[in-house]
Structure 1
């Protein structure tokens, strides 16, 4: 009740303040406080009741045991005689069907729940857990005390330097601090066996204080010359290493190292000497190198790397000037060599079962950060940076060569070799002013992916993937900002930088595919990186061709590039390792071969002759690579069959385009001859595919059923479209005179119709198409007869080609006669042969002619052509009535038609 009353008071006060002392505000606030207080009270009571219930409720196992034991105990109690007063036990009552069992008499044991795997903690959770354990386990007061002591001593020295509050001479104060630290060091050493945690913490703190004291005496108070201070620091840092190694104390080494790296930052006045700072850090890194010679402590190495390059980068951003290059470059080189050797020592001192695990952060981070800092020092001078990169590549190649005979160094040697090749390759675009960041990150990403897969570290793998993407975006930004282009094709910074991304992307997708081991995400990512690299290859190549190739040679350049890319991908498809990447590798060459067909059609539009000059060389080059591409795709049935069909179409189109471009320059010949001769290769190809398909079989003879029928269908579709267009053309036969059926356009239409007839006559045709053979051929015949008739009227009768033919009595009479003849033929043939469908088609056609006479031709009865239409139709109908007066029955018997055959 006390807490409820307190909340009422608080609510009333807040309500009064909100309403500026109004009664309604006070009452309302008190009511809200009462509600809130009661809610909290009830919540606490509910928690208490739940706690009591959980304590009083037995576990399921105990309840089950008790439930089963209860029945036995009751039975024994009923059967056992009483030791005091013997009596006959009454029989137990018979339970009825609807009587509920006593509560708790029988409790079925609860089914065991399936165990759940504990969730894997995230990296942040693990880090938080480690920090928490460090503060809560072991000698917590000493750990916290040492941290506070570091901060206190640093603050004391700085405050004393700034305010001068202590009147004790500065030298004496520094000496007292050093004596106190030495006393702590002695105490920690004496307690190293009895109280190890306490002793190590005190030793680390003491040495850290001594390091800060020496640095303060040298830098702040000028109590020590540079040589003496440097010597003392060397002794102290060496002491840290000796104590840590002697006692196998990683924590001591870390504490001392943190203190050592923090000292110049904590006591800095902002006007320090960078040479002294970097010399001091060099001594610390030398100590790390010495410790790495005896102990395999990765945390120590990583801490030194981060501190050294972090502070160095910060100083470079804030203070570096070109005049300081000579005094800064040696330290950068020295630190690069330090962290080149330290991973080597780390692997040498690691246990045998851990020697295949290398430190990826140092192995790849060291050249990456060093090269970026070197570029900043050189103001991104391409040639100077290229020399630096080449020197680094030689160094990596040298250490890889030196370690070649050490089996334990195999993974390390491979990593150095990869870095040597990557840096040597990067030398070329750097010399040509390439984008440093994009290229480095692309190669670095490929290296991280390789290392992560080898060591099964997902973080390194996905970091490598992210670097691949970052490299591409960096290159795009560089292109948009700087623009421009090199003077040499291929050997320019834009193309080589993009080529680095392409090679890194292809290498990464291959690694992910080979090491996926059932991981779906890795397989999907390999396909994504494959598409990423392919897009960069396409974009970079397109830019090269557009910039350096003249317009007259664009066809040759693109055809050669498409053929080369398709061949390279088909070669890679032979070594595919996963279904996803394998499908991408076998179908991408097919897509490029299809693109070649579009390129050939575009060449026709630009009047490019494919059989002349550079175009001819490109065609032959593409032919050789295309053959090899098909050889590589023979194991992929559907992809190989599709590629073979596109390969045949390429030669067909090349022949057609070559003829069309050549005839286009002959002004004395009409376009109709050009159309006939240009599409002759398609007709010849269909004839060969229909009659002698083995001539087209190599090198895909084993999958002929997969490509032969689609090839013929595609040829028929194209020829059908051409035929439909040709039906509506006037058909000029220049330089020859027009002769019906023997002019170029109608010859083309007849050949196309013949191709369709040959296809419909194939015995292997599906039953559905075989049943529709007659109607299809009849429709083709009617379309050809109509077109030929109108074209003859135009050419021989002098009627303009177009809508004027609809008003021409000659054209209408000619159509009436021709359609009537066709109807007569279908009617009589269907009747005599018992083919009801043909008879019906003839009857319908005759009905159409009759409707045409009534609706159209009757307007032409004033001239001879209109009269001729009616007479011709009447005569033909009379012939039909004589030859086939009755329709055929459904039976095919000849007698049923009423006429002898």
Structure 2
């Protein structure tokens, strides 16, 4: 197994070396290809250079053609081997993409490709061989133990002495030999103590300390990183290469403690980042593997001290690296140690103390306080400013981690929300995007943790509601901070500000709705309206103190949310049970809602982009609410369909008339005159048009006289109001739209006259008021033909008087309908006196119309057609 591992390592080193050689050659070729210069001719032999004539360089192809046909042999040789000159017209070659290796790969590459390659590889192979020899000798007694160890010791000393004498040789030859010797001494002491028992634990520690000091002194004196690396890596590999699987963890960790002490000593004098990282990785990777495979809770007292010792050693090394580093920039930080150390050490600590109560919380608090103290110590030094800020960030992280170990999930979420807001504020002040994103992510965690911890649908306690208020406030402030800095933030952060504001409003609704049952038993839906009004008043108060355009724009949705609540409540969708919106406190709440709506319209009349639409929608909603309430009371009072339908038309009819009055708009409402008259009144009249069609099927109660009954009067007023609205808006309507409107009004007027006649026939003749009964009535058919003919005559007479050809065409069209009706309806029952009268009277009227009111002359050929 050990032999296979040895050859695998050797093969890997060989392949790695070849790979780096290939990369080195590729970079050379790439640089040569990128040069836009003439290719260099092949080197000539000494004899050729001796006979080479002196020639002038060829400047162009034309000049080359003018050269003599005979050329010397040397010139021919040069031309034969000369590469073609690259030009701009040639096809572009494929770009060579070179990726920089990571720092670890660069370090390994420098070790195996820089300096004396054979010495470095040979040193590694020799160390592995000696390590395997120690283990083999321990398992197979060939010579005495003392002789084996003395032999290895002599080899180590010889390597160190030889390396010292050759320390000035190029390629770090001497340093490599010294590092190999120090590593062998580590191997010797560890083997003598563990396998043979020749050295007590105390003596082994003393000797190891001496080797540590020796290696550190040599590395510092000679300023040799290869020596330090070789000695350190060899020292860490000793327990791995000689392990039999049944050693003491105390021996292992104590041995590693001495090695790390050597690294600390070197770090005091030299800022070698690679050496620090190598020791860090060896220490914590091996410790983690041991913890996963061997750790038990009863080993806590003999394991925890080593973890604390390692942590403080590398924490000091990370500080020394920044303080002692002689290069620029001054704020250089070893991120691998600064951030990697707590990321590895804290999970190991949690795994060690998880059986103790609150031990995780104390550990996190201790680390938070430790890093906070380091920040206080280093923040005023220019060289360590970045390191201090890094420690402050770690302090915040560990205080954040400590919270859930101390408090319940709901309290933790509330504290996280406050902390995240503070982090976002500091990050924005200091322009630190990573810190800002940490705070934003922490706030999202709090937003999702808190509702889950207290329950989404449970009635809240006062303490839980206070937690909601804390999270709402923190989220609201975070949204404000991000949105007010949107000019310097990416689009994602600006979008997240809107998301935060949405969550703040959502949490207000969910939290308040869950706490209200403890305060007052609202009727279904009224608690939502109350929450909406209260929340809006709070937001309005905020906008009075803070200029925040996003919040002002958000308030534009107030009306529409209230309308949604009303429709859900009135439609019985809330709790699947119809409840009148105005019962209990409903009338008061909706009154406050409408007053608040108009207050918002006044306050934000210049900021709101949708002001016109909100004015109109608010008007419609007000008319709808009042109309439905009037309809509700009339229906319950008189129990007549016609009366309740008339109630629906009264309010929009009166409001439409008031909107058309020119003196109704003063002050800030003058800006919305066009919106109210064009869209507000137009929408109401459109709704009245639909109401008109609906009421055609309704007959007034009792023996009501035609026209002189309330239903007919209201319908006539609606028709008149439509015409008046079109007349007042003629300057805003196009000609085609105006003609369409007048045509619709005319058609609805003809229908209304027809309906009034049908109601009169119903009352006078006792015919049922439905389409089938009236259609079968000869009396109704005859009267209808005469009525439509009279209407047509009136239209044609008016066309002659006012010169409006469209009126004549309308009357003519109506006469065509009458004629078609005579032939397809009356002709089927021509034996009755009523139908005979219809034919005679209509025919006579047509003759008179043709004589007195002929078709007016058209202005163009198209009109005549």
TM-score, normalised by the number of residues in structure 2: 0.66
Contact 1:293 1:345 (8 Å CA) reproduced = yes
Tell me the residue number matched to 2:817. Answer: 848
1:771 aligns with 2:736: yes
Tell me the distance in 2 between the aligned counterparts of 1:271 and 1:738.
115
1:65 aligns with 2:56: no
1:672 aligns with 2:645: yes
Tell me the residue number matched to 2:234. Answer: 259
Tell me the distance in 2 between the aligned counterparts of 1:318 and 1:484.
46
2:810 alignment partner, SS class: helix
Tell me the distance in 2 between the aligned counterparts of 1:214 and 1:123.
41
1:393 alignment partner, SS class: helix
Tell me the residue number matched to 1:310. Answer: 285
Q: 2:610 aligns with which of 642, 665, 671?
A: 642
Tell me the residue number matched to 1:724. Answer: 690
- 1:332-347 correspondence to structure 2 within 5 Å: 332-338=307-313, 340-347=315-322
RMSD: 6.5
Tell me the residue number matched to 2:182. Answer: 207
Tell me the distance in 2 between the aligned counterparts of 1:418 and 1:738.
88
- Aligned residue pairs total 772
Tell me the residue number matched to 1:780. Answer: 745
Deviations 1:556-590 (A, max 9, x none): 4874799699999999x9899xxxxx9xx998887
Contact 1:597 1:653 (8 Å CA) reproduced = yes
Q: CA deviation at 1:737?
A: 9.3
Tell me the residue number matched to 1:183. Answer: 158
2:636 alignment partner, SS class: coil
2:59 alignment partner, SS class: helix
Tell me the residue number matched to 1:555. Answer: 528
Contact 1:188 1:200 (8 Å CA) reproduced = yes
Tell me the distance in 1 between the aligned counterparts of 2:661 and 2:267.
76
1:258 alignment partner, SS class: helix
1:270 aligns with 2:245: yes
1:886 aligns with 2:852: no
Deviations 1:815-834 (A, max 9, x none): 66765565444433333222
Q: CA deviation at 1:779?
A: 0.7
Tell me the distance in 2 between the aligned counterparts of 1:436 and 1:190.
64
Q: CA deviation at 1:490?
A: 9.6
- 1:245-256 correspondence to structure 2 within 5 Å: 245-256=220-231
Q: Judging changes above 3 Å, is the alpha-carbon distance between structure 1 residues 323 and 744 closer, same or farther for their aligned structure 2 residues? A: farther
Q: Judging changes above 3 Å, is the alpha-carbon distance between structure 1 residues 749 and 391 closer, same or farther for their aligned structure 2 residues? A: farther
Contact 1:285 1:338 (8 Å CA) reproduced = yes
Q: CA deviation at 1:144?
A: 1.4
Contact 2:758 2:769 (8 Å CA) reproduced = no
Tell me the distance in 1 between the aligned counterparts of 2:466 and 2:187.
49
Could you list the runs of 5+ residues in structure 1 that have no partner in the other structure?
1-53, 78-106, 517-522, 577-581
Tell me the distance in 1 between the aligned counterparts of 2:713 and 2:363.
74
- 1:695-714 correspondence to structure 2 within 5 Å: 695-696=668-669, 713=679
Tell me the residue number matched to 2:26. Answer: none
- 1:741-820 correspondence to structure 2 within 5 Å: 747=714, 754=721, 758=725, 761-762=728-729, 765=732, 769-783=734-748, 786=751, 790=755, 793=758, 797=763, 804=772, 807=775, 809=777
Deviations 1:389-426 (A, max 9, x none): 44433333333333332344444444444444454455
1:142 aligns with 2:119: yes
Contact 2:795 2:808 (8 Å CA) reproduced = yes
Tell me the residue number matched to 1:602. Answer: 568
Could you list the runs of 5+ residues in structure 2 that have no partner in the other structure?
1-38, 44-55, 72-83, 518-523
Tell me the distance in 2 between the aligned counterparts of 1:813 and 1:382.
101
1:157 aligns with 2:157: no
Contact 2:186 2:211 (8 Å CA) reproduced = yes
Q: Judging changes above 3 Å, is the alpha-carbon distance between structure 1 residues 471 and 748 closer, same or farther for their aligned structure 2 residues? A: same
Deviations 1:730-765 (A, max 9, x none): 569999999969868985996698478536743662
Tell me the distance in 2 between the aligned counterparts of 1:304 and 1:496.
49
Q: Judging changes above 3 Å, is the alpha-carbon distance between structure 1 residues 315 and 57 closer, same or farther for their aligned structure 2 residues? A: closer
1:313 alignment partner, SS class: helix
Q: Judging changes above 3 Å, is the alpha-carbon distance between structure 1 residues 191 and 594 closer, same or farther for their aligned structure 2 residues? A: farther
1:122 aligns with 2:99: yes
Q: Judging changes above 3 Å, is the alpha-carbon distance between structure 1 residues 115 and 677 closer, same or farther for their aligned structure 2 residues? A: farther
Contact 2:120 2:176 (8 Å CA) reproduced = yes
Contact 2:225 2:272 (8 Å CA) reproduced = yes
Q: Judging changes above 3 Å, is the alpha-carbon distance between structure 1 residues 486 and 874 closer, same or farther for their aligned structure 2 residues? A: same
Q: Judging changes above 3 Å, is the alpha-carbon distance between structure 1 residues 879 and 339 closer, same or farther for their aligned structure 2 residues? A: farther
Q: Judging changes above 3 Å, is the alpha-carbon distance between structure 1 residues 302 and 135 closer, same or farther for their aligned structure 2 residues? A: closer
1:397 aligns with 2:372: yes
Tell me the residue number matched to 2:17. Answer: none
Deviations 1:277-301 (A, max 9, x none): 4454455555545544444444344
Contact 1:559 1:596 (8 Å CA) reproduced = yes
Tell me the distance in 1 between the aligned counterparts of 2:637 and 2:534.
37
